[in-house]
Amino acid sequence: MAGWNLALRFLLELAALFAIGAWGWSLSEHWPRYLLMIGMPLVAPALWGTFNVPGDPSRSGKASVPVPGLVRLMIELAILGTGAYACYAVWSYPPALIYTAALIVQYMAGWKRLVWLIRQ
pLDDT attached to residue 120: 84
- Where are the domains positioned within the chain? 3-119
Residues whose CB is less than 8 angstroms from the CB of residue 49 and which lie 6 or more positions away in sequence, other chains included:
64
45-98 tens-digit pLDDT = 898 888 988 887 767 667 788 899 999 999 999 999 999 999 999 999 999 999
4-53 tens-digit pLDDT = 998 999 999 999 999 999 999 998 888 888 998 999 999 998 988 889 88
Q: Is residue 73 a contact partner of residue 47, using CB atoms and an 8 Å limit? A: no
The predicted model gives 97-107 an average pLDDT of 96
Q: Is residue 45 a contact partner of residue 29, using CB atoms and an 8 Å limit? A: no
pLDDT attached to residue 61: 63
Q: Is residue 57 a contact partner of residue 26, using CB atoms and an 8 Å limit? A: no
- Kindly report the pTM of this predicted structure: 0.85
